[in-house]
């Protein structure tokens, strides 16, 4: 340390500089309550908004002193849960890209919003913007972390709250993370969705309660663990029995195939078939399948009235289908289509669909 610096460090100017630096690095983020601007769309986001609203209504306002909502314009298939709740609760609402008076808010909270937040908007919040994401980041970055976790056969997932980083989805520093949540091979996405929504809301409150400390101790994501969870499209619903195992198909069904828009699809005699109700195949059901059966070949198990289809490995059951926009039971398919072909001495196959040209549809 030089003689000049030793002398300077005892001056009033030096002490002022140090004091000012400490203020900006620590005291710049005040303790709650905060004026919160909430960005969200679906039921996953709604649970968090309801939690913030409960705090707003409490006499002490320990965390939220003001709450307003940013919503996305309505589009086909989009949930409007957040917008509807805000209107019913008489919370002020702002349409995306028509937000007013952002400078009046302390912190932005983003949950299942699906839009990249501009750098200028992020910088408008003196207490930063945070995002509640439905995975244990850096795993499953993207629009559909819950569905993709189940589709991939993951055994656990969770929730992460991060500080929003400009120009990227789900890349920000980690502020808090839940304990792992178990996913069994019988767990459906809607069950995990509901569980993680509740955990996410509680984690959001935890972060806002101690925001200065959470921001000061935020950690970077481990880039070695990054995986992606892209938006779902109709092409994700296409089934190929020659390349997919029974586990692959069952996981897709649990992940999104039980939803009306995302029913799993294959072909039968140049007609698209939607598999509306899929079941795992038992040992007794598998016995109806011929030993020399090929992937995609269809059989019928009489006691359970279930269509049994040979997969790349294993077998999958189906009890309800949609053909030509008509819902039919497996029994009806057997009495009509299946028996007609068998009487001709033909075998019946479900084959793969051609890729579908469609716009992407987002899910959580």
Q: What is the pLDDT of residues 4-54, one digit of tens each?
A: 434 434 544 444 343 333 333 444 899 999 999 999 999 999 999 999 999
The answer to whether the beta carbons of residues 274 and 265 sit under 8 Å apart is yes
pLDDT at 364: 43
User: Is the bond preceding residue 33 a cis peptide, omega within 30 degrees?
Assistant: yes
Apex CA 154: angle with CA 208 and CA 207, to 5°? 5
What is d(CA 319, CA 339) in angstroms, rounded to the nearest whole number?
Answer: 16
The neighbour count for residue 180, using CB atoms within 10 Å, is: 12
What is d(CA 240, CA 242) in angstroms, rounded to the nearest whole number?
Answer: 5
pLDDT at 357: 83
Catalogue the long-range contacts made by 340-347 (C-beta closer than 8 Å, 24 or more residues apart): 347/297
- The full set of domains in the chain, from first to last, is 33-225 (3.40.50.170), 234-343 (3.40.50.12230)
With CA atoms as reference, report the closest residue to 264 among 333, 190, 350, 192: 350
pLDDT at 6: 46
The answer to whether the beta carbons of residues 229 and 152 sit under 8 Å apart is no
Q: Bridge-partner residues for 349, per DSSP?
A: 297
Q: What's the average pLDDT block by block, 10 residues per block, for the chain (364 residues)?
A: 44 40 54 97 96 94 95 70 95 93 96 94 97 98 98 98 94 98 98 98 98 97 97 97 98 97 96 97 97 97 98 98 96 94 93 81 44
Considering all CA atoms of the chain, what is the largest pairwise distance in Å, rounded to the nearest integer? 103
Sheet holding 129-133, edge to edge: 93-95, 64-71, 34-40, 107-111, 129-133, 160-163, 174-177
pLDDT at 21: 37
The answer to whether the beta carbons of residues 249 and 255 sit under 8 Å apart is no
Phi, psi values for residue 259, rounded to 5°:
-95, 140
With CA atoms as reference, report the closest residue to 34 among 162, 188, 205: 205
What is d(CA 62, CA 55) in angstroms, rounded to the nearest whole number?
Answer: 7
pTM, to two decimals: 0.89
């Amino acid at each position: 340390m030089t003689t000049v610096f030793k002398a300077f460090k005892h001056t009033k100017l030096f002490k002022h500089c140090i004091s000012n630096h400490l203020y900006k690095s620590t005291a710049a983020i005040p303790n709650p309550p905060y004026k919160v601007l909430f960005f969200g769309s679906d039921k996953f986001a709604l649970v968090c908004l309801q939690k913030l609203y409960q705090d707003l209504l409490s006499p002490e306002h320990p965390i939220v002193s003001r709450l307003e909502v940013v919503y996305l314009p309505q589009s086909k298939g989009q949930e409007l849960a957040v917008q509807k709740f805000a209107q019913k609760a008489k919370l002020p609402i702002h349409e995306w890209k028509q937000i007013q008076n952002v400078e009046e808010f302390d912190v932005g909270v983003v949950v299942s919003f699906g839009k990249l937040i501009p750098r200028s908007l992020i910088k408008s919040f003196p207490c930063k913007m945070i995002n509640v994401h439905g995975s244990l980041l850096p795993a499953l970055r993207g629009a559909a972390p819950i569905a993709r976790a189940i589709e991939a056969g993951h055994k656990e997932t969770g929730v992460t709250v991060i500080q929003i980083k400009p120009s990227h989805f789900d890349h920000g520093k980690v502020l808090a993370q839940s304990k792992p949540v178990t996913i069994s091979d019988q767990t459906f996405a809607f069950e995990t969705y509901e569980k993680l929504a509740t955990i996410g809301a509680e984690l959001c409150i935890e972060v806002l309660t101690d925001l200065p400390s959470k921001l000061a101790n935020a950690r970077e994501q481990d880039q070695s663990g990054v995986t992606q969870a892209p938006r779902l499209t109709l092409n994700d619903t296409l089934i190929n029995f020659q390349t997919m195992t029974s586990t692959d198909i069952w996981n897709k069904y649990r992940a999104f195939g039980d939803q009306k828009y995302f029913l799993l699809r294959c072909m039968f005699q140049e007609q698209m078939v939607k598999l509306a109700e899929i079941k795992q195949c038992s040992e007794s059901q598998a016995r109806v399948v011929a030993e020399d059966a090929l992937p995609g070949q269809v059989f019928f198990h009489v006691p359970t009235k279930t269509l049994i289809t040979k997969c790349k490995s294993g077998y999958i059951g189906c009890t309800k289908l949609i053909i030509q926009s008509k819902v039919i039971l497996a029994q009806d398919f057997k009495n009509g289509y299946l028996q007609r072909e068998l009487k001709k001495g033909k075998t019946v196959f479900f084959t793969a669909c051609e890729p579908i040209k469609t716009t992407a549809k987002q899910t959580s």
